[in-house]
Structure 1
Amino acid sequence: MITFLSRFFIKDYKDYASPKVRQSYGMLCGAVGIALNIFLFLGKWLAGMLSGSIAITADAFNNLSDAGSSVITLVGFKLSGQKPDTEHPFGHGRMEYISGLLVSVAVLIMGFELIRSSIDKIRTPEPIECSPIIILVLAASILVKIYMYTYNRGIGHKIDSTAMQATAGDSLSDTAATSLVLLATIISQLTGLILDGWFGVLVGIFIFYTGITTMKDTIDPLLGQAPEKNLVEEIEEIVLAHPLVHGMHDLIVHDYGPGRLILSLHAEVPEHGDLLIIHDEIDNIEHELQDKLNCSATIHIDPIVTDNKEVNDMRTQIEEVTHNLDRRLSIHDFRMVEGPTHTNLIFDVAAPFECKLTNVEITNLLKERIRNMDDGNYCAVIQIDRVYF
C-alpha cells in the first residue's frame, strides 16, 4: 500500500537520498500508521469489552498509543524539514530523532501500565469469553502489525531514519504482544485456565524491553555518537585519492539529522608545494565530499616535510616505536627541531577510544622509549588525539 500511495503523493519517490522525499515518506508512513492503529484500537476494544479480557483491552489501548506515536512521527518529519533559521542555523533535522525518542517513551509507559494492570488481574482473575469474532479480530491485528513492521522497517532502512526504525520496533513488539494475547485466549477456552494476567505481564515486559532498545537508538545521535565506520572509510578514500594529500587526521563528524552532516578534517600536504595549487585542490576535495556524501565539509591544511631523508627516516622510526606500544596508535604532524644540546621530535598521536592506555600513560611511555634512542639526544613533544577508530 505504501508503494502504491507513494507513486501518487511523492514526486521522485525512488530518490530516497533527497531530503524532501525522505520527509514525504516519513509523513506518509505516519499518516497510514495513524489510520491503521485507530482501526485496530476500535476492533480490539470491542473484542476486549465482549470477552472481558484485560490483555485484549490493554492491547487495544496500546494501539491507540501507537496512533499517537504515529502522530509524533508525522509531526517530527514535518518539523525536521524546516529550513535553517537564525535560531537554528544547522536546520531542524534532529527533530526526527526527538520524535523517535518520544515514541520510545510512549512505548515504555504502555509497557509499564500493562504490567501493572496485568498484576492486578493475576491477583483477582476473572474468566474471559472467547468467540470466533474475537479470534478473527486478534488474528487480523497480527497480520496488520506484521505489515506495519515490514513497511516501517523497509522504508526506514531506505531513507536511513532512526524514527521509523523505532516505529518498526514498536510494531514488532505489538505483533508479539497480540500473539501472546491470542494464545492466552485460546488456552483459556480449551483448558479453563485463566492465564490472561500472566500473559499480560509477558507482553508488558516485551514491550518495555523494546522501548528501552529503541530509546537507545534515538538517544545516541542526540548525544553525539561516532560516525559509522564505512562513512569514515569513504571519507578517507575520497580525500587520500588526491595525490597532493599525503595523509589525513583529526576528522570530526557532526550529525544534525539525516542528510545534514557537517565534517572537518586536517589534510597533510607538502610544505614546499605551491600554496595556490594546494588551496585549489583542497577546494575540489571539499566539493567532492559535499557532492558524494551530501554533507558540508571544511578541510584544514597541515604542511609536512616530504623531501628530507633524515626527517622521513626518523618519522618511520617513531611510527615503529608507537606501533610497538599499541598497534592501533598512529602519528601525524611530525616535525624535527634541532637545538644545541638535543633535538625535539614534535608529533601528534592518534589513539582510538578502545585503547585502554590513558593519554598520560601513552605520553610517558613514548617519551621514555624515545629518550633511550641515540644516547638521549631526542626529546619528544607529544599531543594525544582520541579518534573514532
Structure 2
Amino acid sequence: MQTYHQMKQGERGAMISITVYLVLSIIKLLVSGWSGSSALFADGLNNATDVLSSVAVLVGLKIARKPPDHNHHYGHYRAELIASLVASFIMVTVGVQVLISATQTLLNGTYSEPSALAFWTALLSGAVMYLTYLFNHNLAKKINSSGLKAASLDNRSDSFISFAAAIGILASTFGMPILDPLLAAFVGVIIIVTAFSIFKTTSHTLTDGFDRDTVMTVKDAVSRADGVLGIRDIRGRKLANQSILDMIIYVDPTLTVKDAHDITDRIEIMLKHRFGIQHVTIHVEPSVIEEDKPPKQTKAPQEQAAPEQD
C-alpha cells in the first residue's frame, strides 16, 4: 500500500498543480479579454476549472491517507479514485462548454485578430504546464498514485492545448483569424477525450474490474509452483493501486496442514517478487486422485426375455 509519506508527496504535487493553474488562468483570462483571443479564453477557462479538479484530487489524497477504522477495514484508499472520477466530470463539463462557445463563434463569423501578447502568453503557459506535467508524472510513478497520475495527464493535455492556442493565435496574425476559434474547438475536444480516458480507467477500477491478461499470467505462474495440482476460481480486484487476488488451489490430499500451508507461503512470496502483488487469499482443497474416484456405473445387461409358451 501507499505509505503516509508517499501520499504526503502526492499532496505536494496536487498543490503545485493548483498554484500553477490559478496563476495561469488569471493571466490568460485577463490577456484574452484585452486581446480578444477565443483560443486563449478557452485555455484560461480550462485552467480555471482545472483548479477545481486539482482541489478534488488533493482532498482525495488527504482522505486516502486516513488509517482504517471500524467502518473502513481496508482504509480509505479508494477516496483517491473517487477524486479522479470527480475531476473527469468537471473536465468534460468544461470541454463541452468550450466546444459550444467555439462553435457559436465559427457560425457567427465574428473573428478577431489577437495581439502578440496573447501568443507569448499561450506559448509560455504551454512550457510551464509541460514542466508541471513532467514533475507530477514522475512523482505519480514514484508513489504509485492514480489520482496524481490523472492530474499529470490533465497537465499534459493542458500544455498541448496552450501550444495549440499559440499556433492558432500566430496564424491569426498572418491573415487566418478563423484558426483562433478552430483551435478553441480543438481545445474542447482534447478536454473531453482526456476526461473520458480518466473516467474509463477510474470507473473500471472502482467497479472491481481487473485485467484478464494479468489473471491468466498469474494463473500460469501459480500452476507451475511446486505442490500445486490445479487452480480454480482465481479472481482479482484493485484497492487503490494494489492488486488483491483470491484463488483456490488443489494439492495432494495426503499432505499435512503444515505442508499445504508452506505451499501457499511460497506462492505468496513468488507473486510478491514477480508481480508486486502483496495481498493474496489462497484456499486449499484436496485434489481428487484416481483411487478416490467412485467406480463408473455400468449398465446391467438386459435380461433375455423368456421364450413364449404355447
Class of the TM-score when normalised by the shorter of the 2 chains: 0.7 to 0.9
RMSD of the TM alignment (CA)?
2.6
- Find the counterpart in structure 2 of residue 275 from structure 1: 257
Please tell me whether the aligned partners of residues 60 and 80 of structure 2 are also in contact (alpha carbons under 8 angstroms): yes
- Find the counterpart in structure 2 of residue 345 from structure 1: none
- 1:268 Cα deviation from its structure 2 partner: 1.4
**Pairing partner for 1:244 from 227, 231, 237:** 227
Q: Which moved more, 1:204-213 or 1:122-131?
A: 122-131
State the aligned residue count.
297
Label 1:235 to 1:71 Cα distance change in 2 as closer, same or farther (>3 A). Answer: farther
- Find the counterpart in structure 2 of residue 255 from structure 1: 238
Correspondence 1:93 to 2:77: yes
The gaps in structure 1 that reach 5 residues or longer are 1-16, 312-334, 343-389
- Find the counterpart in structure 2 of residue 139 from structure 1: 123
- Find the counterpart in structure 2 of residue 350 from structure 1: none
Runs of at least 4 residues off by over 4 Å: 289-292
Q: Following the alignment from structure 1 to structure 2, what is the Cα–Cα distance between the partners of residues 298 and 195?
A: 58
Label 1:102 to 1:118 Cα distance change in 2 as closer, same or farther (>3 A). Answer: same
Secondary structure (helix, strand or coil) at the match of 2:199 reads helix
Q: Following the alignment from structure 2 to structure 1, what is the Cα–Cα distance between the partners of residues 20 and 14?
A: 10
Correspondence 1:29 to 2:13: yes
- 1:62 Cα deviation from its structure 2 partner: 0.7
- Find the counterpart in structure 2 of residue 67 from structure 1: 51
Please tell me whether the aligned partners of residues 36 and 114 of structure 2 are also in contact (alpha carbons under 8 angstroms): no
Secondary structure (helix, strand or coil) at the match of 1:191 reads coil
1:247-295 residue CA offsets vs partner (Å, 9 max, x unmatched): 3332122322123x4322112111122234323x146347636865453
- 1:66 Cα deviation from its structure 2 partner: 1.1
Secondary structure (helix, strand or coil) at the match of 2:198 reads helix
The gaps in structure 2 that reach 5 residues or longer are 300-310
Label 1:185 to 1:340 Cα distance change in 2 as closer, same or farther (>3 A). Answer: closer
Q: State the one-letter code of the partner of 1:256.
A: L
- 1:79 Cα deviation from its structure 2 partner: 0.9
Correspondence 1:123 to 2:107: yes
1:151-162 paired onto structure 2 within 5 Å: 151-162=135-146
- Find the counterpart in structure 1 of residue 283 from structure 2: 300
More strand by share: 1
Q: Following the alignment from structure 1 to structure 2, what is the Cα–Cα distance between the partners of residues 304 and 183?
A: 68
1:128-207 paired onto structure 2 within 5 Å: 128-191=112-175, 193-207=177-191
Q: Following the alignment from structure 2 to structure 1, what is the Cα–Cα distance between the partners of residues 93 and 6?
A: 29
Please tell me whether the aligned partners of residues 38 and 180 of structure 2 are also in contact (alpha carbons under 8 angstroms): yes
Q: Following the alignment from structure 1 to structure 2, what is the Cα–Cα distance between the partners of residues 28 and 21?
A: 11
| TM-score, scaled to structure 2 | 0.85
Please tell me whether the aligned partners of residues 149 and 168 of structure 1 are also in contact (alpha carbons under 8 angstroms): yes
Label 1:233 to 1:20 Cα distance change in 2 as closer, same or farther (>3 A). Answer: farther
Q: Provide the identity percentage.
A: 24
Secondary structure (helix, strand or coil) at the match of 2:193 reads helix
Please tell me whether the aligned partners of residues 289 and 297 of structure 1 are also in contact (alpha carbons under 8 angstroms): no
- 1:207 Cα deviation from its structure 2 partner: 1.6
